Amino acid sequence: MVYDVIIIGGGTAGLSAALYTLRGGLSTLLLEAEVHGGQIIVSPEVENYPALPKISGAEYAQQLLEQVESIGLQIKYEAAEAIEPQAEIKTVRTAYAEYQARTLIWAVGVSPRRLNCPGEEKFLGRGVSFCATCDGALYKGKEVAVIGGGNTALEEALFLAGICSRVHLIHRRESFRAEAALQQRVAAEEKIVSYMSAEVAEFVGDKRVRELRLQTPDGEQLLAVDGAFLAVGRLPANEILRPYVLLDDAGYVQAGEDCRTETPGFFVAGDCRTKPLRQLVTAAADGAVAATAAIAYLRGA
Ligand code: NAP
């Protein structure tokens, strides 16, 4: 079968795209490599999505999936391992099958960035984690560190403060990147201790991580922790596109607000493209824009 559209990625951008392609009458296949919902599923609370004053990321993702499934979403949990977007009939290969469509919407999002310092790899899953919502409960009454200064880091620190005895928030610069409302909540939370202009030089431990070796303005310091949560940003997984579309220096697909690439019939939506603001609301908007562009392309408009 040749689909009208294959959407690669089942996060907010991909599922929103499916909402629009299905309502537009397009035969649609969505491929998701892991779990539907994307990055937002690990957000304990989403408070900045219009008309949803407070919802957990997991609840939001589930509602979105159910909304799209109710209008006939076909989803396969397979990772796209190779794509050929240039021909009129485009191909996506997974470990299990080969799929074809007249248009493709690439919406794979981003994955966690690493610090690349000694001990990080060794202690991943042994005290070092990327997800406070998933692993935070393991540290009830214990001391943990969160590394990063963006929205994710501050949200995770606040979430962990509700579980742990103390949260050490370590950021490499003298000011946080996170939005002001989160910074105010962190400042008011007694269990969070902030370390500014501080970097983790090494994760130290035995079978599990026990200490962080920090470089601070006052010199080197060993900080005893039971766990550490990395929240130092995200990286796009766009490498298999490199032969076909322009990527910027950080690996994001160069595409504008119309979500079009220079390859006809190949669209890109959400955090994996170049954009000034990566938020749930902009990912949802991209899904709608990319889907509408795909519909227009198929109509020859
Ligand atoms: P981010 O905004 O890119 O922040 C990453 C943080 O990690 C920055 O503070 C950065 O420091 C730091 N960092 C990067 N590389 C580092 C390194 N090698 N060593 C030490 N620190 C390093 O990433 P994010 O917090 O994951 O957020 C990603 C996007 O999602 C953002 O656009 C964010 O607004 C959005 N988001 C939104 C919500 C929400 O709306 N509720 C929640 C979570 C995330 P510098 O500040 O020095 O660069």
- The pLDDT score that the predictor gives to residue 35 is 92
Average pLDDT value for residue range 37-44: 85
Residue 44 has pLDDT above 80, yes or no: no
| Radius of gyration over every alpha carbon of the chain, rounded to an integer in angstroms | 21
Residue 144 has pLDDT above 90, yes or no: yes
Average pLDDT value for residue range 92-109: 98
Query: What is the distance between the alpha carbons of residues 23 and 19, in angstroms, rounded to a whole number?
Result: 6
Residue nearest atom 4 in ligand 1 by C-alpha distance: 150
99/132: higher pLDDT: 99
- The pLDDT tens digits for 225-282 are 999 999 999 999 999 999 999 999 999 999 999 999 999 999 999 999 999 999 999 9
Across the chain, mean pLDDT equals 96
CB-defined site of ligand 1, < 6 Å: 43, 46, 48, 113, 115, 148-153, 155, 172-173, 177, 199, 231-234, 278-279
Please identify, by atom number, the ligand 1 atom nearest to the C-alpha of residue 179. 34
Residue pointed to by tokens 């957990």: 56
Q: Running DSSP on this structure, what letter comes out for residue 255?
A: -
Q: Which of 4, 117, 135, 286 is catalytic?
A: 135
Average pLDDT value for residue range 32-47: 88
- The pLDDT score that the predictor gives to residue 220 is 97
Of all residues in the chain, what percent carry a pLDDT higher than 70?
Answer: 100
Q: Running DSSP on this structure, what letter comes out for residue 188?
A: H
Query: What is the distance between the alpha carbons of residues 149 and 96, in angstroms, rounded to a whole number?
Result: 40
User: What structural domains and CATH numbers belong to the chain?
Assistant: 2-111+234-298 (3.50.50.60), 114-230 (3.50.50.60)
Please identify, by atom number, the ligand 1 atom nearest to the C-alpha of residue 277. 32
Please identify, by atom number, the ligand 1 atom nearest to the C-alpha of residue 45. 41
**Could you please report the per-residue DSSP string of 121-186?**
HHHBTTTEES-HHHHGGGGTTSEEEEE--SHHHHHHHHHHHTTSSEEEEE-SSSS--S-HHHHHHH
Average pLDDT value for residue range 155-175: 97
> At 42, is the pLDDT very low, low, confident or very high (cuts 50, 70, 90)?
confident
Q: How far apart are the first and last CA of the chain?
A: 24
Residue 47 has pLDDT above 90, yes or no: no
- The pLDDT tens digits for 148-159 are 999 999 999 999
> At 134, is the pLDDT very low, low, confident or very high (cuts 50, 70, 90)?
confident
Residue 85 has pLDDT above 90, yes or no: yes
Residue 129 has pLDDT above 80, yes or no: yes
Q: 51: CA distance to ligand 1 center in Å?
A: 25
